Amino acid sequence: MIRAHTVEQVRAAEARLLAQLPEGALMQRAAHGLAHAVLDLLGGGYGRRVLLLVGSGDNGGDALYAGAVLARRGAYVEAWLLSDKAHAAGVAALGQAGGVVRRLDTSSASASDYPTTEQPRSSSRERAQRATVSRRSDFDVVVDGIVGIGGRPPLREGAAAALEAVAGVPVVAVDTPSGVDVDGGELVGPHVVADVTVTFGTHKVAHLVDPASTASGVVHLVDIGLDLPEPALEALQPADVAALVPRPGPHAQKYTRGVVGVRAGSAAYPGAALLCVAGAECGLAGMVRYVGDPSVADRVRAARPEVVGDGRVQAWVVGSGSHDGAEEALRAALADDVPLVVDADALAFADRVGAAPAVLTPHAGELAAMLGVERDEIEAAPLRHARAAAERYRTTVLLKGRHTLVAEPGRPVRVTTSGTPWLATAGAGDVLSGVIGALLAAGLSPYDAASVGSWLHGAAATLASQGGPIVAGDAARALPAVVATLVG
């Protein structure tokens, strides 16, 4: 499991640890982890050219101490101090290791004000090294130590101008890309876009949740020994999914494995019925029933001979492509008093679900309609809105997107990091609702069914895609192979 904690949780854990350790020990752990990640990225230290952007807090301290390690490994390291309050001991350490420190006046900053070739007092060895640093774009890497968990977004003007001055150089962010909303994962103004983020102790919400996660690049976690409580957010990993995926026991029967019923599709959208059934037929439940318009039911049975008609089920999937039959389909499903997946057209009636165990599966547009806000507000703050919807409906809400979120009152939000943008294709959501229904029928809780189903759906898309285009049915067909690799 990958876990992410809030700034407040990290600070509390850090305070407990600091009380037991010699002064500065924690920052040294962080700085060494950071330096080694930069060395890995650069393939070594000698002859490499590193620029540190240093803010006023401990985030800058981490960058400066890491810079000292890199300088001792033979790198040319230059620090631009963006504040006159930069970490004093870190500045001294970098100087002693042979690094170059520049104090910048960020009050009048524009990108063109930043240093290019001219260098301050220096030894001949330093001058010789620096001769290779002829243009600002000649740095091999920028280490973003502007702000970490102490930052309040957006980035201040001076820091933003410094960034602009080195645009195009790969960036390693210290702890978080500076300027992002660390706990909310929102982007509210200028911020760093990192290639790699080296974080400490635990992931932060912004590393996993969109839109901020797109600014984090590859996230590398350095263990600094924090003892942490239940996280704010978690991302299932293959081993977690494998532990949760239902398997038939030696004496399994189709009924003990669970029966999933599908009330989806309509004469207007027969394909939704086929795709939802294809997801439900991933093999994780014992049987699939289909109930709907007779012409659609004929097509489902023709395509899928295993599918049977109405009868007892352990879970219903309702709404994908149901069109104007959604309200009636939801009413009929609710009458059975079993867990259900409420998708697409049925989401307009989500209030009727009441206390029934359920997974609501909106995309951003559907959630916008449910909450009475604009779609772009959901896209700018998916975590906030997924949580709000889970509270409003008192149930499990799965908000679809690049990093799908599963929110349930009182539980860490689960974020799906499997998948590929090729999955953004018509009907993919219908397949997802079917898979989640199968997992509910097999006995998983709504929270586990939603997060495991979403992970499998993303992994199946990646497997089917192989880096190229797919249609929704391709993801459905790849589901059994994904499950096989997990449980095999």
Ligand X SMILES: Nc1ncnc2c1ncn2[C@@H]1O[C@H](COP(=O)(O)OP(=O)(O)O)[C@@H](O)[C@H]1O
Q: Would you mind telling me the total number of residues written for the chain in this entry?
A: 488
**Of 163 and 449, which has the nearer Cβ to ligand NAX?**
163
The answer to whether 62 contacts K ion (rule: CB under 5 A) is no
The answer to whether 130 contacts ligand X (rule: CB under 6 A) is no
**Of 13 and 272, which has the nearer Cβ to ligand X?**
272
Q: Which two tokens stand for residue 346?
A: 């049925």
Residues 446 to 475: which contact ligand X by CB under 6 A? 457
Q: Which candidate, 86, 68, 85, places its Cα nearest to that of 77?
A: 68
Query: Which residue from 400, 405, 435, 440 is in contact with ligand X, where contact means CB under 6 A?
Result: 400
- Reply yes or no: is the peptide bond before residue 229 cis, omega within 30 of 0: no
CA 282/CA 444 separation, integer angstroms = 15
State the binding partner of 26 from K ion, ligand X, ligand NAX, none, CB within 5 to 8 A by kind.
Answer: ligand NAX
CB of 241 to ligand X, least distance (A): 16
Buried b (16+ CB within 10 A) or exposed e, 62-99: bbbbbbbbbbebebbbbbbbbbeebbeebbebbeebbb
CB of 313 to ligand X, least distance (A): 22
The answer to whether 426 contacts ligand X (rule: CB under 6 A) is yes
Contacting residues for 449 by C-beta, under 8 A, at least 6 apart: 339, 359, 436, 439, 440
**Of 384 and 402, which has the nearer Cβ to ligand X?**
402
Give CA torsion, residues 25, 27, 33, 37, to 10 deg.
Answer: -160
Which residues fall in the annotated binding site for (6S)-NADPHX? 58-62, 148-154, 175, 272, 321, 363, 430
Q: Is residue 166 within a helix (H) or strand (E), and if so which, with residue range?
A: none
Q: Which stretch binds ligand X (CB under 6 A): 93-101, 113-121, 128-136, 429-437?
A: 429-437
**Of 63 and 347, which has the nearer Cβ to ligand X?**
347
The answer to whether 385 contacts ligand X (rule: CB under 6 A) is no
Query: Which residue from 6, 9, 83, 178 is in contact with K ion, where contact means CB under 5 A?
Result: 178
The answer to whether 369 contacts ligand X (rule: CB under 6 A) is no
The answer to whether 81 contacts K ion (rule: CB under 5 A) is no
The CB density around residue 479, as the number of other CB atoms within 10 Å, is: 27
Q: Which residues bind ligand NAX (CB under 6 A)?
A: 10-11, 14, 26-27, 30, 55-60, 62, 146-153, 155-156, 159, 174-175, 200-201, 224
Contacting residues for 195 by C-beta, under 8 A, at least 6 apart: 41, 170, 171, 172, 217, 218
**Of 320 and 395, which has the nearer Cβ to ligand X?**
320
Q: Which two tokens stand for residue 97?
A: 């290791």
Q: Which residues bind K ion (CB under 5 A)?
A: 144, 148, 173-174, 178
